[in-house]
Every structure is written in structure tokens, then in C-alpha cells.
């Protein structure tokens, strides 16, 4: 069955991955160590969201809340600094705009789910006028948990009133694939970003594409009509 709605990741999927994740983890690890916590809480080989969850678990007592709040503020500042740097230097991936136009012409609901902040996303939208293609847009801090938790996808499904089996999620990271599986939607990986095809496939991606430019062909193969909706001819 062809997906009736498509959710897209941003960094590494729509725009080239320029976020210096290794530097973010190193800076966050230093902040955690300076706060008197074990620096090993920050795993340099795992997504930062996983390490932040470990810090939350470590500081779970009520008496830890002031320190946790301070660290959360510091971590957000570190992440946003690198996000804004990336947003100012990245470029659109091959076929991104054409695919967004293709989906719009066929009136396919298209949403954006990203662990990027709304502030950083606005910088990207000011550089690339693609914001109107997405409804809804879900960013970091707008759900209780980040990807790979399915909260963002669940919000989008509720907004569209579609079942998980009617939606596909396209991303470049294993956390995108994990998020799709957790929500029960179709996981599609693109290899133009953070992870290789082998890594995405191992995480459970059911389809692999070199970039977003190949998404229309895949959706046609899955049964989406090739012609635009009548009202958009």
C-alpha cells in the first residue's frame, strides 16, 4: 500500500549534514565533568539524545533537579551553537526541492520531524524557502522526548488522523529508522547523510535511497499515482 503521508527528517536528508556532532559530544562531556558527574555518562559513540537520557537517569532524585536544570541549559546552549553554525553553511541535498514539489502537487501530506531546535530551523527556512511544504513541523523541545522516541511521529499521525501503516518516515540516521519502527510507520533510509546503507538496513530500514531525489520513484512503485491531483494540474 502506498503511503498517504510522508514525514521527513531535516539534517542529512533535506539539507547536507554539517552538524559537528563529535564536537558537541566533547563539549557536553566537558560540561558534565565540570559539574562533578562522571564524564563517561556522555558516550562519544552514541547519539547525544541517548547520553542526555543517561544524565537524566543519573540525576533522578528530587534533590538533583537544580543541577539537572543547569546542565540542561548548558547542553541546549552547546547544541544550538553548533546547529546555528551548521544551518548557516549547509546546502540542500540533490532532488530535495523537486521531491517536495512533487509531493505537494499530489496533495500528499508532508511533515517535518527533526531533533533540531525551532530557532535553528528558522535559519534554514530563511535560506531555503521550503517551510510552506510542511504541516506540521515538530522540532526539539516540542514533544516530551526526542527521536528515536516516537512522540514526534505520534503527534503527526494524530494531526493527520492517519494510521501508522499509512505513513512513511524518511531519514538518514539510525535513530530515524528506530523512531519509525517505534511508531509503526514505514522506515525509509537515505544514504546521503549520517549513516551508510548497511547501518540503516541493520537498524531496520525497509527501503534505501541515495537521496530524496529518488523518493518519487519509490512511492510510485509502492502505488502512489504518478499524475498530480486534478486540482493542481
Query: 10-residue block means of pLDDT along the chain (233 residues)?
Result: 94 95 96 96 90 93 96 95 96 98 97 96 97 97 92 98 98 97 98 96 98 97 78 44
pLDDT of residue 229: 61
pLDDT of residue 23: 96
pLDDT of residue 232: 44
Q: What is the pTM of this model?
A: 0.91
pLDDT of residue 77: 96
Phi, psi (degrees; rounded to nearest 5) at 224: -75, 135
pLDDT of residue 230: 60
pLDDT of residue 87: 95
Amino acid at each position: 500500500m502506498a503511503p498517504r503521508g510522508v514525514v521527513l527528517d531535516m539534517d542529512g536528508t533535506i539539507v547536507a549534514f554539517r552538524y559537528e556532532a563529535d564536537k558537541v559530544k566533547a563539549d557536553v562531556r566537558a560540561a558534565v565533568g565540570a559539574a562533578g558527574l562522571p564524564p563517561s555518562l556522555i558516550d562519544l559513540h552514541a547519539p547525544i539524545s541517548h547520553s542526555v537520557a543517561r544524565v537524566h537517569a543519573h540525576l533522578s532524585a528530587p534533590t538533583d533537579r537544580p543541577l539537572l536544570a543547569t546542565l540542561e541549559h548548558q547542553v541546549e546552549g552547546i547544541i544550538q551553537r553548533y546547529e546555528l553554525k551548521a544551518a548557516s553553511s549547509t546546502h540542500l541535498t540533490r532532488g530535495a526541492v523537486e521531491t517536495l514539489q512533487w509531493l505537494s502537487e499530489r496533495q500528499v501530506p508532508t511533515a517535518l520531524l527533526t531533533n533540531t531546535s525551532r530557532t535553528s530551523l528558522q535559519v534554514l527556512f530563511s535560506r531555503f524557502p521550503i517551510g510552506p511544504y510542511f504541516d506540521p513541523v515538530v522540532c526539539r523541545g516540542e514533544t516530551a522526548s526526542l527521536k528515536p522516541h516516537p512522540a514526534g511521529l505520534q503527534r503527526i499521525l494524530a494531526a493527520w488522523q492517519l494510521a501508522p501503516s499509512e505513513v512513511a518516515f524518511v531519514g538518514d540516521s539510525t535513530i530515524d529508522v528506530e523512531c519509525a519502527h517505534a511508531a509503526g510507520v514505514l522506515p525509509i533510509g537515505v544514504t546521503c547523510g549520517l549513516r551508510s546503507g548497511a547501518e540503516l538496513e541493520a537498524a531496520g530500514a525497509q527501503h534505501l535511497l541515495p537521496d530524496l531525489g529518488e523518493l518519487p520513484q519509490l512511492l510510485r512503485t509502492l502505488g502512489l499515482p504518478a499524475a498530480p491531483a486534478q486540482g493542481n494540474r
